[in-house]
């Protein structure tokens, strides 16, 4: 399925309360979400037929919509039920799910007070975000030109489509130079995150990670912090200046797509995937197993 266009796949997509054939899950070209980025979304993974942290993802989706000033016309329970039923209908066990909500096409302009709010959920088979051979030895990151903006200028706590424009620009620039991804600084010049994943560093047995003051406090990020603390590891959330990367021994990314991915290089700084990174990779892999998910409810 690699390389297959996303508008030409088989199966169904849940859209506005019903399951429709994949090719018919379309929107009009004058949809407000396309022109003005009035859209929010989630990225979720299913393991063995169970969707990891589904309730938390749905809660964040509803919150993101509220931040953008609209209300999704479905309850969390309805969204969760639709997600599980979609997974069953698609006959998927290990998969990626993408809920997305957006303003429709009733009004075209900056103001869209009367536009209908739509919601769709798609699911497809998707392996690790980064190639397996990359993950084992650690991926290489470039330093991004674009920075995460001041939270006074964007709704940084929402997982909103428009906030990812500079992520796409940064990732494309990095890939064009042979890197897997890029590390973005924040508006103050401190370390922020990769283009779609949070970042962690290890020094002297302690884990350091940027405080999420202007970017998403990822669900996987929080999960990994919890796993580290269960191991008795100290996790320090703080501002991290880029030059501090010279003193860190290990580095890894976390995210629904990235899971826990070791990093070997960020610009001029190098790291060696070590014991703490490998331990958290293993702990996360255990945490997402179906038996664990079922027990968590």
pTM score = 0.93
* Per-residue confidence (pLDDT) for residue 4, from 0 to 100: 84
Q: 2 in a domain, yes or no?
A: no
Q: DSSP letter string over 32-58?
A: HHHHH--EEE--EEEETTEETTHHHHH
> Which of 55-59, 111-115, 135-139 shows the lowest mean pLDDT across its residues?
135-139
Residues 192 and 87 placed together within one structural domain of the fold: no
What pLDDT digit, counting tens, does each position of 232-281 carry?
999 999 999 999 999 999 999 999 999 999 999 999 999 999 999 999 99
Query: Would you say residue 99 has pLDDT above 80?
Result: yes
Distances from the Cα of 150 to the Cα of 144, 165, 213, 218, angstroms:
16, 15, 9, 18
Instruction: Give residue 154's domain range.
Output: 132-290
Query: Would you say residue 164 has pLDDT above 70?
Result: yes
Tell me the β-bridge partners of 50. Answer: 47
Q: 103 in a domain, yes or no?
A: yes
**Known catalytic residue at 91:** no
Look at residues 62, 93, 124 and tell me which one is the last residue of a structural domain.
124
Portion of the chain with pLDDT greater than 70, in percent? 94
* Per-residue confidence (pLDDT) for residue 291, from 0 to 100: 47
Mean of per-residue pLDDT scores for the chain: 94
* Per-residue confidence (pLDDT) for residue 130, from 0 to 100: 54
* Per-residue confidence (pLDDT) for residue 2, from 0 to 100: 52
* Per-residue confidence (pLDDT) for residue 1, from 0 to 100: 41
Residues 143 and 115 placed together within one structural domain of the fold: no
> Which is catalytic among the residues 53, 159, 203, 229?
159
| Number of folded domains that form the chain | 2
Can you tell me the mean pLDDT for 126-136?
62
Residues 92 and 140 placed together within one structural domain of the fold: no
């Amino acid at each position: 399925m690699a390389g297959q266009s996303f508008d030409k796949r088989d199966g169904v997509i849940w859209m506005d309360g019903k399951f429709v054939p994949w090719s018919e899950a379309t929107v009009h070209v004058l949809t407000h979400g396309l022109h003005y980025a009035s859209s929010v979304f989630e990225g979720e993974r299913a393991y063995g037929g169970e969707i990891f942290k589904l309730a938390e993802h749905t809660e964040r989706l509803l919150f993101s919509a509220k931040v953008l000033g609209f209300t999704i016309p479905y309850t969390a329970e309805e969204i969760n039920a639709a997600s599980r039923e979609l997974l069953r209908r698609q006959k998927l066990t290990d998969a990626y799910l993408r809920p997305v909500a957006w303003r429709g096409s009733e009004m075209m302009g900056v103001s869209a007070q009367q536009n209908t709010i739509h919601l769709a959920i798609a699911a497809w088979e998707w392996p690790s975000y980064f190639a397996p051979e990359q993950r084992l030895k650690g991926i290489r990151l470039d330093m991004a030109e674009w920075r995460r903006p001041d939270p006074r200028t964007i709704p940084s706590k929402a997982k909103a489509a428009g906030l990812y424009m500079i992520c796409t620009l940064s990732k494309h620039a990095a890939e064009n130079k042979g890197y897997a991804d890029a590390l973005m600084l924040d508006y103050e010049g401190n370390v922020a995150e990769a283009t779609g994943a949070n970042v962690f560093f290890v020094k002297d047995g302690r884990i350091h990670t940027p405080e999420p003051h202007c970017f998403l406090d990822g669900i996987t990020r929080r999960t990994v912090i919890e796993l580290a603390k269960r191991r008795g590891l100290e996790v320090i959330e703080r501002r991290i200046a880029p030059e501090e990367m010279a003193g860190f021994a290990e580095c890894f990314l976390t995210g629904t797509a990235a899971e826990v991915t070791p990093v070997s290089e960020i610009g001029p700084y190098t790291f060696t995937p070590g014991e703490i990174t490998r331990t958290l990779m293993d702990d996360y892999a255990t945490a997402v197993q179906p038996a664990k998910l079922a027990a968590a409810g």
